[in-house]
Amino acid sequence: MEGVEIWRVLLVSGVLTAATAIQGVAGFGFMLLGLIGLVQVYAPQIAVPALNLVYIPLGIAQTIENRRDVDLHLLGRWVAGAVVGVVPGTLVLKMVDPITLKRAIGFAMIALTVAIRFRPGPPFRDDGIARLVAGLAGGVTGGATAAAGPPIVLIGLKQQWPVETFRATLFSFFTVIALILATVQWNLGLMTSLTFRLAGYGAPGILAGFVLASMLRGRVSAERVQWLGTVLILVGGITALVL
């Protein structure tokens, strides 16, 4: 293997180790942190499909691990909304030039992360509509950036959905949306040999992060991990804006 490829494996695996560990403990953050790390080196049109692809085995493992706490009704509403938003979001990814999209991703990651940290006001009265809107927004951002979680987390905090159920259902949603996105991205020509190569680079990081999360869970508070993830995402978002 050439030196440059070893460097890329270490870089991608390092980013995904941190992203996987943070999501495993905090319940979200994989796509946010993974994307903001990868777009420093790769165009979003390459990084987003690869990140989505490499997430699928992790998502399946986390879904199985947390299956008893999944709220199927909540999951169904999210998926119903997301199906509507996936194609428009993916078309944005395909059509917008890489530099503009990188800047937009940096701004969006900063804005959404800050919004998540500062908990929103009282819940919406119609929780059913809130669930559909969360899924729709997640589908759009998932298609354009791979990060389907932030809008759902933001609305989930506002609606005060039970934490353990919310976390477990998020894992299932991420898995379902990743499978849908992979199909859409394939049909739109975004899955290339480079996509699969980059996903392969990240596979060791996924495994290492999954093990690390299992070791940290129960020893480190989710709140501390969330703050660490927030700082890393903000730094990455600022970097994506200025470089």
pLDDT of res. 242? 67
pLDDT digit string, tens, across residues 122-134: 787 888 888 898 8
- Residues facing 220 on adjacent strands: 217
Residue with tokens 């440059």: 4
pLDDT digits (tens, 9 = 90+) for 179-188: 999 999 999 9
Considering the entire predicted model, what is its pTM? 0.81
- Predicted local distance difference test score (pLDDT) of residue 234: 72
In the structure, what pLDDT confidence band is assigned to residue 2 with cuts at 50, 70 and 90? very low
Per residue in 58-87, pLDDT (tens digit) is 889 889 988 899 999 999 999 999 999 999
Q: What is the mean pLDDT of residues 33-37?
A: 84
| Neighbour-count burial of 121, counting CB atoms closer than 10 A to its CB (0-12 exposed, 13-18 middle, 19+ buried) | exposed
**H helical segments located in the chain:** 3-26, 30-38, 44-65, 72-95, 98-117, 127-145, 149-159, 163-187, 193-216, 222-242
Q: Write the single-letter amino acid at 23.
A: Q
For residue 3, what pLDDT is reported?
Answer: 46
Region 150-159: mean pLDDT is: 79
Confidence of residue 159 (pLDDT cuts 50, 70, 90): confident
pLDDT tens digits, 42-55: 888 999 999 999 98
**Looking at per-residue confidence, does 69 or 225 come out higher?**
69
pLDDT tens for each residue of 190-210: 999 889 988 988 888 988 988
Q: Between 163 and 230, name the one with better pLDDT.
A: 163
Q: What's the confidence (pLDDT) of residue 1?
A: 44
Per-residue pLDDT band for 229 (boundaries 50, 70, 90) equals low
Instruction: Return d(Cα 84, Cα 66) in angstroms, integer.
Output: 26
